[in-house]
Amino acid sequence: MIKIKRFNKTGNEEFENKIEELCSVGKKNKLESTKVQKLLKQIIELSKNVSKVETVEQADEIEQKSFKDRHELGVYLFNKLSKCDFAKINNDVNLWNWLTAFYIKNVFSGRATEIVRFIYKKRFFQGKRHLIRTPWILVATNPTQVESLKFCLSTPTHQGSNMCEQFISRMDLWKNPSVVQLCYDLYFDPVAGKQRKGADNHRKIKDDNGTEYNQKGVLYPRLYKDILILSKNKDVWDLSPSEINSEIKDEFGIWKDIDARSGNKSEKKKNPPWTRNELSICLWFYHKEDKEEILGEVGEVHSSISSAIKLLKNEHGENFDPNDNFRNPTGVWRKLRNFAALDKSISNEKFQDDHFSNLDQEVFRRYEDKKNFNDLSTVVKVISEKNNLNLIK
């Protein structure tokens, strides 16, 4: 273990010279070559040369170790630097260069030899590509969304990614915790532990007529543009991930069925349309519960409705095999927001989702007024007794 250091002026100059030499030699020689290995060793030794460094007093001790990916590296550095003044270390060139020297074997693979990946530059266009500082700044800026950052930091420590570069290039995205969570929900495959295939494809595609267009649903420019458009009418910083998701185009739903490795759509069946009985239960809760509670964040009430609906017998046939997300709390929440879009008493668009079906509209109109609530309760009571739901005693 060693206390975190920073290069002094002489040490930093020597480091930059060594990195330039390493990148030059690395282009012509393999990683395991004597020349490359000698330079790597010299850089590590430089990081431990007491005449070339100075201690960062408030920082913790670190050790030379391997990291699963850039996410693990970013979290590790965030914890070790958490006691330091953010303003002082954020753009401390000599600190980030020292950390690069200390972990040079983690970030230099011989494949990518661009100097800006190893020598930190304050200019944003160059600084965002730094392999050590970038994962730290993302974690440090989003301490409540650390897990969500995996969508752009799941690559090895020596490998940058288009997704990470697209994301950190736009402060409207990476400095908003709700957007970070939304990106994780859209673009990260938790089973594979990596970004969904093609989610970072910003290149234009030509159709049969030669017209160029961007791949639907990608982070940049599609999601970024939707966020900018949304910000003109609403305070995006005050919206939850689910609220932002309800406002952006339907095209972003494609990632639910995209495999992280192949980019092919899975064979998972789509959920069937909502039935009249399911809608009746949902609408009964809609009229009964507090509107801000059921139309705001997904919570316990949505879980209760979800559990009740899943207990309905033979609603979709005896051989129906539901998906894992069948009538889940989020799906219930969306359906309630469909009703809100039909409700004349709800004027706040942030509580509404106008993607309702004809049957949604029919059921809602039938029991729209409070005077019809007793009729709806009677219907739900029959459904409840038939399926042992115990909704109305």
**pLDDT by residue (tens digit) across 212-239?**
667 889 999 999 999 999 999 899 999 9
**pLDDT by residue (tens digit) across 287-339?**
999 988 899 888 899 999 999 999 998 888 877 888 878 999 988 998 999 99
The lowest-confidence range among 91-105, 285-299, 337-351 is 337-351
Helix (H) or strand (E) holding 5: strand 5-7
Given a cut of 60, is residue 267 above it in pLDDT? Answer: no
Contacts of 193 (CB under 8 A, 6+ apart): 150, 154, 260
Query: How would residue 204 be classed by pLDDT, with cut points 50, 70 and 90?
Result: confident
In this predicted model, which residue has the larger pLDDT, 282 or 357? 282
For position 349, what pLDDT does the model report? Answer: 75
In the block, residue with structure tokens 């038939």? 386
Given a cut of 70, is residue 262 above it in pLDDT? Answer: no
**pLDDT by residue (tens digit) across 54-74?**
999 999 999 999 999 999 999
Q: Each residue of 296-305: b (16+ CB within 10 Å) or e?
A: eebeebbeeb
Contact indicator for 302, 274 with CB cutoff of 8 Å: no
> In this prediction, what percent of the chain has a pLDDT beyond 70?
94
Q: What is the mean pLDDT of the chain?
A: 90
Average pLDDT over residues 132-158: 96
